[in-house]
Amino acid sequence: MEQILGSSFKNFEAALDQPAPISIRLNSSKIFTEPDLPKVPWANNAFYLPERPQFTLDPLFHAGSYYVQEASSMFLEQALKQQVDLEQPLRVLDLCGAPGGKTTHLASLISEDSLLVANEVIKNRASILAENVAKWGSGNVVVTNNDPRQFSRLPDFFDLMVVDAPCSGEGMFRKDPQAVNEWSEENVKLCAQRQQRILMDVWEALKPGGLLVYSTCTWNESENEQNVAWLAEQENATSVKLELKPEWGIEASEYQGIEGYRFYPQQVKGEGFFMAVLRKTGDYEESIKGGRKKKYKVIIAGKKEQALVRSWFQYPDKFEWLQWGEIISAIPASQFEALDELYQNMHVIYAGTEVAEVKGKKLKPMHPLALSRHLNKNEFSIVDLELEQALKYLRKEDIALEGGGSDWVLLQYKQVPLGWAKQIGNRINNYYPKEWRIRMELPTELPEISVVK
Q: Could you list the residues known to form a binding site, using ranges.
A: 120, 147, 164
Does the annotation count 217 as an active-site position?
Answer: yes
Name the DSSP class of 398. Answer: -
State yes or no: cis peptide before 99, omega within 30 of 0.
yes
C-beta neighbour count of 318 within 10 angstroms: 16
What are the strands, taking DSSP E only, across 195-271? 206-216, 238-240, 251-255, 258-263
Residue burial 182-205, b: 16+ Cβ < 10 Å; e: rest = ebeeeebeebbeebbebbbbbbbb
119 within 8 A of 201, measured Cβ to Cβ: no
CA atoms within 13 Å, Cβ hemisphere of 165: 31
Distance between first and last Cα of the chain? 42
118 within 8 A of 143, measured Cβ to Cβ: yes
Instruction: Indicate which residue of 96, 167, 191, 217 is catalytic.
Output: 217
Q: Could you list the residues known to form a binding site for S-adenosyl-L-methionine, using ranges.
A: 120, 147, 164
Residue burial 42-81, b: 16+ Cβ < 10 Å; e: rest = bbebbbebeeebebebbbbbbbbbbbbbbbbbbbbbbbbe
Which one-letter amino acid corresponds to residue 173? F
Q: Give the containing element (helix H, strand E) for 162.
A: strand 158-164
* Distances from the Cα of 219 to the Cα of 5, 93, 115, 210, 280, angstroms: 11, 24, 32, 26, 25
**Residues labelled as active-site residues:** 217
